[in-house]
């Protein structure tokens, strides 16, 4: 499971909408939590260096800068994000072909467009699984998410 602040999710959605009809991309910085959960503490927007439509490439200098800035601390690059203009928020064959790092989360934002303007409509998170052969979706939660409340029913109404 991956947790991030609503503000970080909004920042990613805003970047996806602003980049439409192109793709946005960036890094997710955070730390591991007990039980294999991941917490995003920062988002670093990247220029998309991808040369073709439907492709993204994060600026390698950003990777270097972020890695250096967090050296010796508990925070690290825990994943990356990018958008899918007019496509679902699920990894594509192109994403799988370019993917690496089974420890990285791949967050994808679907953006629907109309008259040249994009609207973020869905976001999902994935990790590489089975030796890097396929993606698997993982739960994505904002850090204010709480389990559903449970209603206590009066005696005699328990069915």
Q: Where are the beta strands (DSSP E) in 10-116?
A: 25-32, 38-46, 76-85, 105-114
> Half-sphere exposure of 3 toward its Cβ, with a 13 Å CA cutoff?
14
Q: What is the pLDDT of residue 159?
A: 58
Q: In angstroms, rounded to a whole number, what is the distance separating the alpha carbons of residues 8 and 66? A: 17
Q: What b/e string do you get for 58-79 counting C-beta neighbours within 10 Å, with b at 16 or more?
A: bbeebeeebeeebeeeebebbb
Q: Which domains does the chain have, with CATH numbers?
A: 2-142 (3.40.140.10)
Which tokens hold the place of 9?
A: 């999710």
Query: pTM of the full predicted structure?
Result: 0.89
Residue 101: what pLDDT? 84
Distance CA 42, CA 73 (A): 14
Q: What pLDDT was estimated at residue 102?
A: 84
User: Are the C-beta atoms of residues 79 and 38 closer than 8 Å to each other?
Assistant: yes
Would you say 142 and 6 are in contact if contact means Cβ atoms under 8 Å apart? yes
Q: Which pLDDT tens digits describe the chain residue by residue (159 residues)?
A: 999 999 999 999 999 999 999 999 999 999 999 888 999 999 999 999 998 887 899 999 999 999 999 999 999 999 999 999 999 999 999 999 989 888 899 999 999 998 779 999 999 999 999 888 899 999 999 988 888 889 898 886 665
């Amino acid at each position: 499971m991956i947790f991030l602040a609503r503000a970080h999710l909004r920042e990613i959605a805003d970047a996806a909408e602003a980049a439409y009809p192109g793709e946005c991309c960036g890094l997710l910085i955070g730390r591991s939590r007990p039980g294999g959960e991941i917490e995003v503490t920062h988002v670093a927007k990247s220029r998309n260096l991808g040369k073709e439509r439907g492709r993204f490439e994060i600026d390698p200098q950003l990777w270097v800068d972020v890695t250096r800035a967090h050296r010796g601390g508990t925070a690290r690059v825990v994943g990356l994000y990018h958008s899918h203009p007019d496509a679902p928020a699920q990894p594509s064959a192109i994403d799988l072909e370019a993917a690496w790092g089974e420890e990285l989360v791949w967050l994808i934002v679907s953006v629907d467009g109309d008259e040249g303007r994009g609207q973020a409509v869905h976001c999902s998170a994935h990790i590489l699984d089975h030796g890097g052969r396929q993606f698997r979706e993982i739960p994505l939660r904002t850090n204010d998410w709480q389990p559903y409340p449970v209603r206590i029913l009066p005696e005699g109404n328990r069915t």
